Amino acid sequence: MHQSQPSEQELLKSVLQPLLEDFQYWFSRSRSLLETEDLPFLSEEQQSELLARVRTAQQEVSTAQMLFQATDGQVGIETATLVPWHRLVSECWQVGTQWRASRLTSAPTDIADESQP
C-alpha cells in the first residue's frame, strides 16, 4: 500500500505545534523556578535578567502560537526565531540542573545526625 506524503501544512502542524508547546512548558517551569527560588549560584542581577529573557520568550512563543492557530497552521516560523528559544531553554535546563545539585549538596549527609535531639 502506498501512503501519501503529508502536506506541508500537516507537517507544520505535526512538528511546529508540539515544539511551541514544549517551549511554553519549559519556559513556564523556568519562570516558576526563577520567581520562587533563591539560586545561590546566580547573582540577583543574573537571576532577574534571565527571568526577563524567559518572560520575553514566553510572550514571543505565545504570539507565534496565536499566529499559527489563526492561520490554521499555514504559517511557519523561521529557524532564526527558533534557535534563540532553544538556546534559552538549554540555558534554563543548566540552571535547573545547578539548582538541583546545589540542593543536594546542602542537604544533610549524615542521617544519624538528624535523629539526635
Convert the pLDDT of each residue in 7-18 to its tens digit: 777 878 889 999
Percent of the chain, pLDDT > 70? 88
The more confident residue out of 104 and 106 is 104
Name the pTM for this structure. 0.82
Burial class (CB in 10 A: 0-12, 13-18, 19+), 8: exposed
For the record, the C-alpha cell of 66 comes out as 496565536
Amino acid identity, residue 95?
V
